[in-house]
Structure 1
């Protein structure tokens, strides 16, 4: 009998590389047909609201942008007891504190998944509200997804190319392609602030 697996992407797509985890689960849904027993979830920044999803999972695979102090775009995979420690390393945003709380609370309540796998990518840019993933981070989506696919295969889950429909993903309007294709030009939308408050150029 194969384990029930929850694959979750966490982060905030509005803050550049912070959206890495969410974009990974979107990519999985768009390119792979996952079997029964594997659930995809856009965890966003929901914090403790994610607890009910952990209750039925034997294995939790998490994608996220994590500041490991490495070169931007570096993937690092940590497992089991190491996961909470890395989720708190150099906290970049409220969602990381929230996810640590999720794990700790699930452990206290006795239904934390027995196996944890964190697939983290070192971000390049976080201080860019409304910005997309930087190229070096976006390039790591497929390699990160391959880590998860390899683990699923090792666990006996048959995965094949295709699509996975899920009502636990983001609204189509903020999916990666729609979000990037709808970005206005820099002439139409200033990316650095309101020009009325900038001093006149010399």
Structure 2
């Protein structure tokens, strides 16, 4: 028998961050909602609406094989740029 999804040990966490009241700033949250609604992901992937909690919640996912954070930020890179960061760079 398979354990309920919320009790499984997820290997990958996808965390969407952002404030829904601030337009583009809510992108990460909207992205997670989109994935939950329109896509079926493998059982090893956990989708998390991190809301306005920001980077403070990332330590909760330190034991994951992979952590994908979707957020809006002001940068000199073009929109849609993907950045790979170490834990030290996030802190």
SS at match of 2:59: helix
Match of 2:18 in 1: 11
SS at match of 1:66: coil
Structure 1 residue ranges (4+ consecutive) displaced by more than 6 angstroms after TM superposition: none
Match of 1:26 in 2: 33
SS at match of 1:36: coil
Match of 1:36 in 2: 43
Question: Equivalent of 2:75, from 56, 68, 74?
Answer: 68
Q: Give the alignment's TM-score, normalised by structure 1.
A: 0.36
- Counterparts in 2 of 1:168-187, with a 5 A limit? none
SS at match of 1:7: strand
- Structure 1 residue runs without a partner (length 5+): 85-99, 105-202
SS at match of 2:34: helix
- Structure 2 residue runs without a partner (length 5+): 1-9
Which whole-Å CA distance do the structure 2 matches of 1:63 and 1:44 have between them? 11
Which whole-Å CA distance do the structure 1 matches of 2:42 and 2:11 have between them? 10
Q: Structure 1 residue 44: deviation in Å?
A: 1.0
Larger radius of gyration: 1
Match of 1:78 in 2: 83
Provide, for residues 74-95 of structure 1, a one-character-per-residue CA deviation record: whole Å limited to 9, x for no partner: 21101133994xxxxxxxxxxx
| Cα-Cα RMSD | 2.5
- Counterparts in 2 of 1:1-202, with a 5 A limit? 4-47=11-54, 48-52=56-60, 54-69=61-76, 74-81=79-86, 84=89, 100=90, 104=91
